[in-house]
Each structure stands twice: as structure tokens, then as C-alpha cells.
Structure 1
Amino acid sequence: MDPLGNLIDWIAVYGIFGLVAFGLAERFLPALPSYGVLVAIGIAADGAVWSLHTAVIGTTIGSVTGALGLYLLIRAVGRKRSVKLLYWAGRWVGLSHPRIDWILSSLRAREGALTILSQLIPTVRLISPIAAGLLGMNTLRFVCGVAVGIALWNGLFIAGGYLAVLAIPGINSSALALKILVLLVVAEVLTALVWRLQRRYSMRLNPGVSKR
């Protein structure tokens, strides 16, 4: 069985519009395994369905559009409601209040670089547009940073799927996505450990800072 392969068949019916629609949907549906679908899209990027660069461009356009929509929504809603939405979204993707506060302070300190990097962290990438809107980040800077980060994220997994099918013709995209999921979980756990160690070290240097 290959459920991701079946999903790709559905996306392929709509061509580049299907790629854009997927990119848009993955910003609003945290349960959607975007990395897995991207891998499957890469496996299908043989020129018959879509080319490799078309796959990256189409999914990036959709995802950037979704991220910009969230950013503008937060700017329109206002700070008080936005904070509640941010914490709610954080719980949905497994981020605690302290980690969200850390993300906000990090984005405030170095907007450009961290906007790009935030799109390369599985859970953080989903709430970073909300955080950017809450902080009132410059719109052009936000769009440029997010576009670069999303292009890197999408390109990495699409290229991975493309290279995998070249190495192993007929590979099951769902099985490959499951293996990648394990690697992502390990990477995220290691990132969380590094964050906790960094936070603990900062508190030792600044004992006046209270723990949240």
C-alpha cells in the first residue's frame, strides 16, 4: 500500500495548481505530513507528471502564500487575540509556552536569518508566520525570509524523493516518508535538548531571570 502515492495521483490531476494547493494547505493543516508529500512529489518529478523545478516552485508559491496569509491575519486581528492564537497553535503542534516565548525573543533579535531558519524546523515553521505578525516584522523582509526558508525545506525533500527513485526505481513513497519521519523526530528531540541546555546555561549566567 502507498497512500502517499495515491495522494500524488490526485495532485497530478491538477498539475501545477495541485502543487500550489498542497503548499497552501500544509500551512493550515498541521496534521498533514508535508515532508512525506514533498518526498512523494519528488518521486513523481520525472518529467511526465511535473519537472523537478516545477515541483519546487509550485509548492513554494503555495506555502509562501499561506504563510503570508497567516502573517496578515495576525496583523489585522491585533496583539491580544494574536497571543492567544499563537499559544493555541503552539499546543496544537506540541510547543510549550516557554519555547514559544523563546521563539518570539529570537525572532525579535535577528529577524532576517531566523525567519529563514524557522522554516527548517518541523514544528516551529508552522507558527513562525504567526509570531512574525505578532512582532510586527517588516512585510517585505518576512516574505523574503520565509520564501528562502520554504524553498530550502521543499527543495530538500523533493530532491530527496527524486534522488531516491533514481537510486531505487519503484520505491514506495510512504515507506520512504516513514523513514524520514524517524530522522526528523530524532533531529527535533536533539534540537529540544540543545535548547534546554542553552536556556539553563543562560539562566546560570543571569540568575535574576525567572523560569517560566
Structure 2
Amino acid sequence: MDANSILNYLSQYGVIFIFIIVFLEYLNLPGLPAGIIMPLAGLWISRGEMNFLFVLILSVIAGVIGSWALYFLGFYGGNFLLDKYINKFPKQKKYIDEKLEYLRSKGHIGVFVSRLIPVARTIIAIPAGVLKMNFFKYTVYSALGILIWNSVFISAGYILGEGIFKYIG
């Protein structure tokens, strides 16, 4: 799918498209990565088709809701799922143990920092749930990290779009 196709989807489906893409990414499901969609959303905003703050807040809400699903998966079934996973992929045990220990030592700051690191940002919810971190604090630190991540990517597209439209306009 090329940038024009995505911009057409944005024009046709608007914020619903953005919400679904970001939500699915924070569920760690394959699809269009938000790292591509967010800059294109910024470009779309620069065309005057949507409000920057509204799109940013919507993307944060979608990310938080998606991460809640994985948090609760970890909270209620995490140890069972981790044991199944480790039995199937025993070489991953060390990596998983390191991530759990990282969260144990860093706490909610570890969640925040992880939200700013590619790959870790979408999977950190499961270990947080396994460790039964305080849900309210988990949500606040996740939302702050998601806000920064999405702001950077939407802003990049917006700035690029502003430059393009000034140049060709």
C-alpha cells in the first residue's frame, strides 16, 4: 500500500481509520504500522482536513485501549502464557526474564521508557500485567509515553506536509 492509498483511506474513513490502526498496533497485531500511519496522518492534518490535537488525543486513546487488552492478558493469564511460550521457545526464557526484571527494577518509569522504544513499546503491556503493576499508574505512564511517541510521528508528517504544500503552493 502506498502513501496515496493511505491518504485516500484517511480522507474516506478519517479518524476511525487512525483509531483502528493504532489500536491494532498496540494489540501487537500485524498490519499497517502506526510509524507509517502517524506521519501520513500529520500530512493529512497539514492539508487542513483534521485538527492536530484531536488526532493526537484519539491516537493516544487508541494506543492506551489496545495496551489495556494486553495488560489484562498478562494480568489474568500471563504466567500460564509465558510458561507455554517458554516451553515452546526455551531460548527466549533469558530475554523474557530480563524484561520482567527490568520492569521489577524500574517500575512504572520502565513502562514509560519502553513506550519510547520500537518493538518494546507494544509488548511491554504483557509483562506489566504479569507483574500486576498498579493499573492506574500503568495507564498514566503508558499514556505519557504513547503521547510523546505519537506526537513525534504526527508532527514529522505535519511539518513535512507544511513544507511540501508551501513549496508547491
TM-score (norm 1): 0.68
- Aligned counterpart, 1:147: 143
- Aligned counterpart, 1:70: 70
1:85 CA drift (Å): 5.0
Q: Residues 122 and 73 of structure 1: is their aligned pair in 2 closer, same or farther, counting only changes over 3 Å? A: same
On the 8 A contact 2:46/2:162 being kept in 1, the answer is no
Aligned residues between the structures: 164
- Aligned counterpart, 1:106: 102
- Aligned counterpart, 2:119: 123
1:17 CA drift (Å): 2.5
Aligned residues: CA RMSD? 2.6
On the 8 A contact 2:113/2:145 being kept in 1, the answer is yes
Moved over 6 A (4+): none
Q: Is 1:17 aligned with 2:13?
A: no
Q: Kindly provide the amino acid, as one letter, of the partner of residue 64 in structure 2.
A: V
Distance 2:55 2:86 in 1: 30
Aligned residues: percent identity? 27
Distance 2:118 2:75 in 1: 24
Q: Residues 134 and 170 of structure 1: is their aligned pair in 2 closer, same or farther, counting only changes over 3 Å? A: farther
- Aligned counterpart, 2:164: 168
On the 8 A contact 2:43/2:158 being kept in 1, the answer is yes
On the 8 A contact 1:5/1:40 being kept in 2, the answer is no
- Which runs of no fewer than 5 residues in structure 1 stay unpaired? 172-212
Distance 2:166 2:93 in 1: 44
1:64 CA drift (Å): 0.7
- Which runs of no fewer than 5 residues in structure 2 stay unpaired? none
On the 8 A contact 2:41/2:154 being kept in 1, the answer is yes
1:80 CA drift (Å): 2.2
SS at structure 2 position matched to 1:45: helix
Q: Kindly provide the amino acid, as one letter, of the partner of residue 152 in structure 1.
A: I
Q: Is 1:136 aligned with 2:132?
A: yes
